Structure 1
Amino acid sequence: MTELSPVRRRRGRGARERILKAATELFTAQGINATGMEQLTTAAGVSKRTVYMHFTGKDDLVHAYLLQLEDGLLPPEVSPDQDPLTAREQLLAVFKWVPQDTSRPLRGCPFLNASIEIPDPDHPVHRLAAAYKTEFARRLTTLARQAGARDPETLGEQLALLYDGVVARSTALNTTDAGPRARSIAALLVDAAITNHAAEATA
């Protein structure tokens, strides 16, 4: 567990942002369950009372922590008027993930991690993780459709499954080597789906 130096309490604006920043750093580095509220308040430089002014409890904080990550981790939405090649490139770009900090152990997908640490499928945090994974596949399906795939729903699910697999493997082995290999597999899946559709359309 990371040891933190004593931090003087800070008041005023920005407390919520500091709490979320500290939560993001600690949850990423050591996990949700291993992070206690005392450690979190010390890292954020706030009192427990301040934390509970902004969040009803740890579950609420974890929920907010994941919500702030959604937009930055989801595949982009591509408008229909863009070139189909752009959509194909966006599909493959999903597998170009590189961690910002390579000096620390890889932690993989925070939503997968949260669903594992909080396994109850009815828990709000687990439901949020499941909704994120559903939206992830939906966006891949949208990109697959714009790229001209024959069966975009199937391709979207295939790529989502491949992504989750490479993230889990990268975390277990603490290496990014699986990314380029997964991207080559994704290229085969995408090109086969697009080529077959084109062939059927011209037949």
Structure 2
Amino acid sequence: MSATTTTPQGRGRGGRERILAAAARLFAVQGINATGMEQVAEEAPVSKRTLYAHFRTKSDLVIAYLEGLASSGATLEGVLTREDVSPRDRILGLFDQPAPDADPVRGCPFIDAAAEFPDPDSAVHSYAREQKLKMVRLVTALVAELGCREPAALAEQLVTLADGAASRAMVLGEADYGRHARAAAETLLSQALPSTT
């Protein structure tokens, strides 16, 4: 059976994938909180029974959506693990917003999710926090590899720039807003790293 084939009841892998694809489209256009579970079921299309068989709660659906984004490499953080790109270019890649023609510009999905689930103990907020902590660990390792003497401090500055640029890009509707933060990141790197890099 192919990945897109479903059982007669709609509960095959294809149902789950359709639900996640529908949720991703709706979350991108109208946000997480503005998207209801019934709307996701209609967009998929699956029955509400099938939807809840795959995702017992909306939080479960949101976390699965975020996990899919994280594993796809399509987020800002995705560039940080690319082996075919130099460490410096991976760091600067944080400021290249994905999908410059996206409408609306959504910014960082992890920041968006944390803002829409503000309780720091909620499962969604906790997952978003873990992704942001992973981002700073990856940047710390990259700047250490480049020879920075204080990699943790520089990494925090760089990820703050990247997250700020993503948020401003969303608020202003400017997908290429990261260019401003990239210029600042290049200055930080040139001042913090040995001149041989």
The residue identity in structure 1 corresponding to 2:164 is G
* Deviation at residue 78 of structure 1 after TM alignment: 6.4
User: Shift of residue 55 of structure 1?
Assistant: 1.1
Q: TM-score, normalised by structure 1?
A: 0.84
Which residue matches 1:56? 56
Structure 2 CA distance for aligned equivalents of residues 13 and 122 of structure 1: 30
Stretch deviating more after TM superposition (129-138 or 91-100): 91-100
1:32-47 map, 5 Å: 32-47=32-47
Output the CA distance in 2 between the equivalents of 1:175 and 1:22. 25
Tell me, what secondary structure is at the counterpart of 2:81?
Answer: coil
CA contact (8 A) 2:105 2:173 kept: yes
Distance 2:98 2:82 in 1: 22
Does residue 77 of structure 1 match 2:76? no
Letter in structure 1 aligned against 2:189: V
Indicate the residue corresponding to 2:23 in structure 1.
23
| 1:177 to partner: Cα distance | 4.2
Deviation track 1:101-150 (CA, whole Å, cap 9, x = no partner) reads: 43x12111111011111100000100001111000111111111111112
Gaps of 5+ in 2: 1-7
1: CA distance, partners of 2:96 / 2:59: 31
Q: Equivalences for 1:104-143 in 2 at 5 Å?
A: 104-143=103-142
Matches within 5 A, 1:171-182: 171-182=170-181
Normalising by structure 2, report the TM-score: 0.86
- Give the number of equivalent residue pairs: 184
Tell me how far 1:98 sits from its aligned partner.
Answer: 3.4
Give the greater-gyration-radius structure (CA): 1
Question: RMSD value over aligned CA atoms?
Answer: 2.1
SS state of the match for residue 107, structure 2? coil
Matched, 1:144 2:167: no
- Pairwise CA distance, 1:180: 1.3
Deviation at 1:187, TM superposition (A): 0.6
**Residue 168 of structure 2 aligns with which residue?**
169
Contact 1:77 1:143 in 2 (8 A): no
Deviation at 1:100, TM superposition (A): 5.4
- Aligned residues with identical type, % of pairs: 45
Letter in 2 for 1:90: R
Q: Structure 1 stretch 54-63 or stretch 67-76: which is displaced more? A: 67-76
